[in-house]
């Protein structure tokens, strides 16, 4: 299994209706490590059910109250969790996060609030048993790889709830569509060209280059030039530009630096429709 696939989790949202919890959305998340802690990363609009541009609900129905996420553990032949050293068999499990505690949001978000559509939840790794997932920033990455327009990239998620074997994500191919060294419309983000679908909000995006990576100052060969396939975490996908699935087919990707901002600022989340 590709290490990046091991970083991804399917997310299901549940809201209150008629006194019980009912499904109200599907999305994607991934794991990230910061200062020794593990976090589940997804989008602000996923956990609030609110469009960050209009502050209106993104869909009819109840707002999310509970989030579940998939994760993997090593298991025995009966599907029961066992220490990792005793088996190579892996099973899928569900974790649960109550989005509010004493009516206060428990996630961390950017100090710019909904204007950066990314949130983080601290995950108690000890509660996940013999955890088999990999934080995306601990996957072996090609640090020399620089993002450029036209470069291949992949959005790892669950389009319309579709899953791969063992709840692995679907790799939707695309390409970097705007200059990634510059902010898109004053946001720490860039565009990708890809036919993504509902259910992929919160997906990690990885860039991949195969061939020769030229590192010389003049764009030529150098002693540290690399030959082969290089992959690097590129950001957090948060949805299409426009409502039409078959429109311009451009999506917004938040740069990885926003994660370090969120996890160093420790700004607790707020739902503007609940005033919490």
Q: What is the pLDDT of residues 211-226, one digit of tens each?
A: 555 554 565 555 555 6
- CATH, range 140-255: 2.40.10.10
**Is residue 46 within a helix (H) or strand (E), and if so which, with residue range?**
helix 44-48
What residues in the chain have per-residue pLDDT under 50?
216
Neighbours of 13 (CB within 10 A): 24
The domains spanning 5-136+260-268 and 140-255 adopt the same CATH topology: yes
Q: What is the pLDDT of residue 208?
A: 86
Q: In terms of pTM, does the model score above 0.85? A: yes
Predicted confidence at residue 128, as pLDDT, reads 74
Write down the pLDDT at residue 196: 86
Give the CB-side neighbour count of residue 28, counting CA atoms within 13 A: 33
CATH number of 5-136+260-268: 2.40.10
Domain boundaries, the chain: 5-136+260-268, 140-255
CA triple 253-116-168, angle to 5 deg: 45
| Neighbour tally for 264: CB within 10 Å | 11
pLDDT at residue 245 in the model: 62
- Whether the Cβ atoms of residue 38 and residue 194 lie closer than 8 Å to each other: no
Q: How far apart are CA 218 and CA 55, in angstroms?
A: 48
């Amino acid at each position: 299994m590709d290490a990046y696939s091991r970083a991804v989790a399917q997310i299901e949202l549940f809201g209150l209706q008629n006194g019980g919890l009912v499904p109200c959305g599907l999305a994607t998340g991934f794991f990230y490590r910061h200062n020794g802690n593990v976090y589940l990363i997804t989008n602000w609009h996923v956990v609030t059910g609110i469009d960050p541009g209009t502050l209106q609900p993104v869909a009819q129905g109840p707002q999310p109250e509970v989030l579940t996420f998939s994760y993997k553990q090593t298991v025995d032949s009966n599907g029961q969790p066992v220490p990792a050293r005793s088996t190579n068999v892996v099973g899928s499990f569900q974790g649960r996060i109550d989005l509010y505690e004493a009516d206060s949001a428990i996630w961390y978000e950017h100090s710019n609030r909904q204007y950066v559509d990314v949130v983080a939840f601290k995950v108690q790794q000890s509660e996940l048993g013999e955890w088999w997932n990999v934080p995306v920033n601990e996957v072996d990455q090609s640090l020399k790889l620089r993002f450029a327009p036209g470069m291949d990239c992949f959005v790892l998620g669950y389009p319309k709830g579709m899953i791969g074997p063992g709840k692995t994500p679907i790799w939707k191919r695309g390409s970097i569509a705007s200059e990634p060294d510059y902010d898109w419309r004053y946001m720490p983000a860039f565009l990708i060209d890809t036919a993504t679908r509902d259910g992929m909000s919160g997906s990690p995006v990885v860039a991949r280059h195969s061939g020769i990576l030229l590192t010389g100052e003049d764009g030529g060969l150098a002693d540290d030039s690399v030959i082969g396939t290089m992959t690097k975490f590129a950001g957090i996908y948060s949805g299409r530009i426009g409502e039409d699935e078959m429109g311009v087919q451009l999506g917004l990707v938040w740069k990885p630096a926003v994660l370090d901002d969120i996890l160093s600022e420790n700004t607790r989340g707020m739902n503007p429709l609940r005033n919490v």
